[in-house]
Amino acid sequence: MEIGRTLTWTAERFPERLAFAGSRRMTYFEWDERTNRIANAMLSLGVRPGDRAAMFLSNSEAMASTHLALQKIGVMSTPLNIRLSAPELAYCLQNCEPAVVVTDDVARQVAKEALTMSPTRAKMLHTGSQPLAGAMDFDSLVLAADPAPPRIEVTESDPSVMLYTSGTTAKPKGVPRTQRNEFAASVAHVMQCRYGYGEVTLGAMPMYHTMGLRSLLSMLIIGGKFVELPIFNAERAIGLIESEAVTALYLVPTAFWALTETGKLDRVATTVRKLAFAGAPMTSSLCEKLEETIRPDVFVNHYGSSEVYTFAIEERASRKPGSAGRPGLYSRVRIVSVEPDAGHDPLPRGVVGEIAASLEADDAFQGYWRRPDADARAIRDGWYHTGDLGHLDDDGDLWVDGRVDDMIVTGGENVHPIEVEDVLSRHPDVAEVAVVGLKDEKWGQAVTAFVVPVRAQEDPVALARRLQEWARTKAPLSPYKRPKKVVVISAIPKSPVGKILRRKLVAGDYAVPTSARVR
């Protein structure tokens, strides 16, 4: 089954049902017709099946509708993470070589900078009130386009989407996924979260992430309602949950934390009956708060990735907080040795190893876009090596114990320590720096910089504050990569061969001149 056909058939089944609520309110009939117009507009520009369409778009109706329209003509939707820096986005453009680029007012500035750094021959479209030089008006083009279904045959092996993930290297990696991959992942989401016909979900997770796409596509399958929330704001989210009678939430723990901080979580409980989270671990205290206040019928911990949508599912997150549960609907998971040539024989229960997932799953990708180096690290003998350390407990449930490569997952975003260290080391007052992720109630992990000052007598508190201000105002770091905490220490713990011992930093095994935490 293909995504475009899924929308059309749902529109035939429930033409009058409200499908999208937000800046536009559209029934399924209207949404199907609007995506036909966008698809035909793309074809009129010379965009063809197999091409890439890059999108610098906020989490909006334009993003959702354009993504769905591209599914109808076999064009690889390539939504870019507009929270990345301009150089990172310029690399993505160079890597994917799009035939068309779509921008909006929210992403206008970063798109302009990225496009300047990476000249492209792509046709430019812009939606919004602030025109972009050299770009055609998206809305006028779509309005004039044919509302009839485009005459393009799309099969399940054709491209659907390419998501860029930071993964285990500093450069973003393109994750191409087929129609079959995306439909299977969305069906799995429906089944694993126990969605029913007519569900209503909040479109709060960005659609340049797999979570945001799953929220969107799962609603198509069951004829549900997708409620637009372009920028997450807890107060706004609660208002929409009440006014649109949202029944299901799929968010990162950071967003759930923000909802609890409003003091209005009891109002969420009025209509929401199904909870799911992913992107980062959820603390026991937050898990208990959600269980006690909302008392959901479903409370799922989803563990997966852009590459393979589901690794494992804990069907009742409050049953065993922290557990990732059992393999998902299409999944096969093993704990294997971290040694590259050790094979894929499963390790005994209780033994920590690397989590590997079978690429035979319908929701699994088959390799990165033009990155054989990344394929060589992550794919071996039909297994995807997640880079996560984990173990099975005595019950056979999966636990994630950290990252093989020390990746930090903060608020659902991947941050590579070496990238942040490279930037912070440029500060004139920094002699050495090591970055790790420390457990945090709100963020899951907080990006934390351990700094050795150039001058031994430096005031550690003043240096920490100065460094954070510099990271915020002058350093070329995306906001979520900036250190939330800075700790000034006497020396970076290292192995005899000079390797940074991050585990000692996480464990607090280091010398501190004075307390220097800045929150």
Q: What's residue 499's pLDDT?
A: 60
Q: How far, in Å, CA of 513 to CA of 209, rounded?
A: 41
Q: Which amino acid is at 406?
A: D
Q: What's residue 403's pLDDT?
A: 75
Q: What's residue 495's pLDDT?
A: 58
Q: What's residue 516's pLDDT?
A: 43
Q: Which amino acid is at 364?
A: A
Phi and psi torsions of 245, nearest 5°: 55, 50
Q: What's residue 168's pLDDT?
A: 37
Q: What's residue 517's pLDDT?
A: 42
Query: The dihedral of CA 475, 476, 480, 481: what is its sign?
Result: negative
Q: What's residue 217's pLDDT?
A: 98
Q: Where are the domains of the chain?
A: 408-507
Please tell me what DSSP assigns to residue 159: E
Greatest CA separation found in the chain? 73
Who's near 198: CB < 8 A, 6+ residues apart? 17, 222, 223, 224, 225
Q: What's residue 408's pLDDT?
A: 87
- Give 76: exposed, middle or buried? Use CB within 10 Å, 0-12, 13-18, 19+: buried
CA 294 and chain centroid, separation: 25
Q: What's residue 416's pLDDT?
A: 76
Alpha helices in 425-500 (DSSP H): 460-473
Q: What's residue 519's pLDDT?
A: 40
pLDDT tens by residue, 232-248: 999 999 999 999 999 99
pLDDT tens by residue, 24-38: 999 999 999 999 999
Read off the tokens for 139. Answer: 């809305």
Q: What's residue 368's pLDDT?
A: 98
Stretches in the chain below the pLDDT threshold 50: 167-169, 496-497, 515-519
In CATH, the number for domain 408-507 is 3.30.300.30
